[in-house]
């Protein structure tokens, strides 16, 4: 049994994180915290930041349940964890904690809260709020997606009003940085009305939410009582919710906003004349997944053959316009723990034909299921072309993400699927990224591989890695795990996306793009 038990997760939560934009209907109407905000001019206003985001709201903001890309980005500014990950460097730092946690023993951490830290309603942050924030996530009845990331926690106890102890079930080498998963919420306020809190969140971060309208905008204002390490440098922020790519580009060009995320690859060159444009290599992957319990995909040689058949360079140059990197392992080459996998699927149609012949497969016909994400729709015809070229007759079924998972994947009616995914918004450690796809619901209910000896071996290696305090040994165990997965390829990346951000340097000071969905304005101010 795995040390890390994700448990059940609701499909509506899962879909937001696998890149299923639009999987849930956008929230109707306005979610208001304090009414409309005043002031501000254009994107270059002296006390205001205006930004163009690529998603509309489809969930609320409660950090126990919020899995959408947009509320995740907003919550970077509204809430604090005891220890947070810097959104740019992904390094841990003491946030609501006064200092980094004290290691009492192998299974106990002690954390003291920052003095005079206060929630946005003026209530002081107390140890009981910390205990409550962990307990509500760990409570199975709440079905929180976040629980899977802290399943190593046995209990959190209050030592005094400003100190807590976190007791682990077993030594867990990544415990400190995983504390960033749990954003601290005010117990009294949440218990009084969780639904209201979801719409009008109250945290202790540098910005407080003023108003949110599902398909229009989110407005924040500086929390004047904030005394932590990431003080708000703007009096107000307004995020324009512009899911139409051309609308984002126009908003930046016109000066309506100072920065946009998810710049269309076709527009990047044009924007460079008037804006700073940068690409960040992300973990975000396009994966190929098989129904591993159905012939002939129960034979890894068939799975390998279809990977070798893919012309990665053509996809990246033609469909992605250079905005991706071919997968040479489970991790992108920019990840601090990257190692090239023992098996790398460079385009080799002859090898693909050989493997199909070795597996005794002739005249294979495949319906390739894909999500209708814009850039994915550009890629899948080229995969079909590659497979057709090695004698695999391929048809495409492209549809809305929620429907594809519900009607094809969960029902077991698919044989091969291409889709995007990126759990790195929750954390960047290898254990988290691997377990997202290879533990729990994915291998059990999506690609039907969990009953194999190799699946058990993956979990054993991951468990051993997080138990050891030897960083080199842990890195070797992760590399061994990735080599095993690269050989088996039940689900495996084809490429890792690059995320393009554009901004006006004359309007923003200190801005840096991040390598996950969203934008960060921590330590960023109007110029």
Say if residue 32's pLDDT is above 60: no
Residues in the chain: 527
Half-sphere exposure of 344 (CA within 13 A, CB side): 13
Residues whose CB falls within 8 Å of the CB of residue 259, separated by 6 or more in sequence, listed in order: 43, 49, 51, 52, 252, 501, 502, 503, 504, 508, 511, 519
Average pLDDT over residues 165-188: 97
Evaluated on CA atoms 191, 192, 193, 198, the torsion sign reads negative
pLDDT confidence of residue 28: 34
Rounded distance, CA 220 to CA 70, Å?
A: 14
pLDDT confidence of residue 18: 45
Rounded distance, CA 240 to CA 244, Å?
A: 11
Average pLDDT over residues 83-102: 97
Beta pairing partners, 324: 497
Place 24 in a pLDDT band, splitting at 50, 70 and 90.
Answer: very low
**pLDDT tens digits, one per residue of 347-377:** 999 999 999 999 999 999 999 999 998 899 9
Residues whose CB falls within 8 Å of the CB of residue 460, separated by 6 or more in sequence, listed in order: none
Measured distance between the N- and C-terminal CA atoms of the chain, rounded to whole angstroms: 54
For 315-325, give one letter per residue: b (16+ CB within 10 A) or e.
bbeebbbebbb
Say if residue 1's pLDDT is above 90: no
Place 92 in a pLDDT band, splitting at 50, 70 and 90.
Answer: very high
DSSP 8-state class, residue 106: T
Burial label, 396 (beta-carbon count in 10 A; 0-12, 13-18, 19+): middle
Region of residue 489 (left: phi > 0; alpha: psi -120 to 50; beta: else): left
Judge whether 342 and 483 are in contact, CB under 8 Å.
yes
Judge whether 182 and 191 are in contact, CB under 8 Å.
no
Using DSSP's 3-state secondary structure scheme, residue 67 falls into coil
Rounded distance, CA 423 to CA 438, Å?
A: 12
Q: H helices within 18-81, ranges in order? A: 69-78
Hunting for tokens 């690529």 — which residue is that?
Answer: 54
Fold classification of 11-265+504-526 (topology level): D-Maltodextrin-Binding Protein; domain 2 (3.40.190)
pLDDT confidence of residue 59: 86
Using DSSP's 3-state secondary structure scheme, residue 105 falls into strand
**pLDDT tens digits, one per residue of 96-134:** 999 999 999 999 999 999 999 999 999 999 999 999 999
Q: Which CATH architecture has domain 282-497?
A: Roll (3.10)
Judge whether 498 and 513 are in contact, CB under 8 Å.
no
Q: Supply the mean pLDDT for the chain.
A: 92
Rounded distance, CA 256 to CA 259, Å?
A: 9
**pLDDT tens digits, one per residue of 38-79:** 333 344 456 999 999 998 888 899 999 998 889 999 999 999
What element of type H or E holds 167? strand 163-168
**Other CB atoms within 10 A of residue 407 CB:** 15
Q: Where are the domains of the chain?
A: 11-265+504-526, 282-497
**pLDDT tens digits, one per residue of 244-295:** 999 999 999 999 999 999 999 999 999 999 999 999 999 999 999 999 999 9
**pLDDT tens digits, one per residue of 475-497:** 999 999 999 999 999 999 999 99
Say if residue 217's pLDDT is above 90: yes
Beta pairing partners, 285: 421, 496
pLDDT confidence of residue 3: 44
* 300 token code pair: 């890894």
Could you tell me the CA-to-CA distances from 35 to 29, 186, 220 in Å, in that order? 13, 21, 11
pLDDT confidence of residue 58: 81
Judge whether 3 and 460 are in contact, CB under 8 Å.
no
Place 184 in a pLDDT band, splitting at 50, 70 and 90.
Answer: very high
Half-sphere exposure of 200 (CA within 13 A, CB side): 15
pLDDT confidence of residue 215: 87
Place 7 in a pLDDT band, splitting at 50, 70 and 90.
Answer: very low
pLDDT confidence of residue 19: 42
Place 31 in a pLDDT band, splitting at 50, 70 and 90.
Answer: very low
Say if residue 33's pLDDT is above 80: no
What element of type H or E holds 110? strand 108-112
Burial label, 135 (beta-carbon count in 10 A; 0-12, 13-18, 19+): middle
Say if residue 219's pLDDT is above 60: yes
Say if residue 136's pLDDT is above 90: yes
pLDDT confidence of residue 349: 99
Hunting for tokens 């360079």 — which residue is that?
Answer: 313
pLDDT confidence of residue 68: 83
């Amino acid at each position: 049994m795995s040390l890390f038990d994700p448990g059940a997760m609701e499909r509506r939560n899962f879909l937001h994180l696998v890149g299923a934009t639009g999987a849930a209907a956008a929230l109707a109407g306005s979610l208001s915290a304090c009414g409309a905000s005043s002031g501000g001019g254009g994107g270059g206003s002296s006390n205001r930041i205006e930004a163009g985001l690529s998603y509309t709201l489809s969930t609320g903001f409660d950090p126990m349940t919020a899995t959408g890309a947009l509320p995740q980005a907003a919550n970077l500014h509204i809430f604090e964890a005891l220890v947070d990950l810097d959104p740019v460097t992904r390094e841990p730092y003491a946030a609501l904690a006064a200092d980094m946690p004290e290691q009492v023993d192998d299974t106990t951490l002690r954390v003291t809260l920052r003095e005079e830290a206060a929630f946005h309603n003026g209530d002081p942050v107390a140890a009981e709020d910390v205990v409550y924030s962990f307990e509500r996530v760990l409570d199975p009845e709440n079905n929180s997606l976040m629980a899977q990331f802290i399943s190593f926690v046995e209990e959190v106890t209050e030592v005094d009003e400003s100190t807590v102890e976190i007791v682990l079930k077993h030594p867990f080498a990544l415990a400190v940085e995983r504390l960033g998963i749990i954003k601290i919420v005010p117990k009294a306020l949440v218990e009084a009305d969780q639904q209201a809190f979801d719409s009008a969140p109250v945290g202790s971060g540098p910005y407080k939410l003023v108003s949110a309208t599902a398909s229009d905008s989110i407005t924040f204002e500086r929390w004047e009582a904030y005394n932590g390490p990431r003080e708000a440098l703007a009096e107000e922020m307004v995020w324009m919710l512009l899911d139409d790519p051309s609308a984002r580009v126009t908003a930046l060009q016109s000066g309506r906003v100072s920065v946009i995320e998810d710049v269309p690859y076709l527009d990047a060159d044009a924007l460079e004349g008037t804006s700073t444009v940068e690409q960040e290599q992300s973990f975000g992957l396009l994966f190929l997944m098989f129904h591993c319990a159905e012939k002939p995909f129960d034979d890894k040689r068939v799975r390998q053959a279809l990977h070798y058949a893919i012309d990665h360079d053509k996809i990246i140059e033609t469909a992605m316009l250079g905005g991706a990197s071919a997968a040479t392992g489970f991790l992108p080459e920019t990840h601090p723990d990257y190692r090239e996998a023992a098996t790398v699927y460079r385009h080799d149609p002859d090898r693909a034909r050989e493997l199909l012949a070795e597996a005794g497969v002739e005249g294979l016909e495949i319906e390739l299921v894909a999500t209708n994400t814009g850039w994915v729709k550009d890629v899948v015809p080229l995969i079909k072309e590659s497979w057709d070229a090695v004698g695999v007759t391929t048809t495409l079924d492209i549809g809305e993400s929620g429907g594809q998972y519900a009607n094809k994947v969960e029902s077991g009616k698919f044989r091969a699927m291409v889709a995007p995914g990126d759990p790195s918004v929750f954390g960047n450690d290898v254990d988290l990224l691997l377990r997202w796809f290879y533990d729990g619901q994915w291998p059990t209910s999506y690609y039907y591989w969990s009953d194999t000896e190799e699946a058990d071996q993956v979990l054993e290696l991951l468990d051993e890695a997080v138990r050891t305090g030897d960083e080199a040994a842990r890195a070797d165990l992760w590399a061994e795990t990735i080599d095993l997965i690269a050989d088996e390829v039940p689900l495996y990346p084809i490429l890792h996306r690059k995320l393009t951000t554009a901004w006006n340097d004359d309007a923003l000071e200190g801005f840096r793009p991040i390598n996950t969905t969203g934008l960060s304005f921590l330590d960023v101010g109007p110029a």
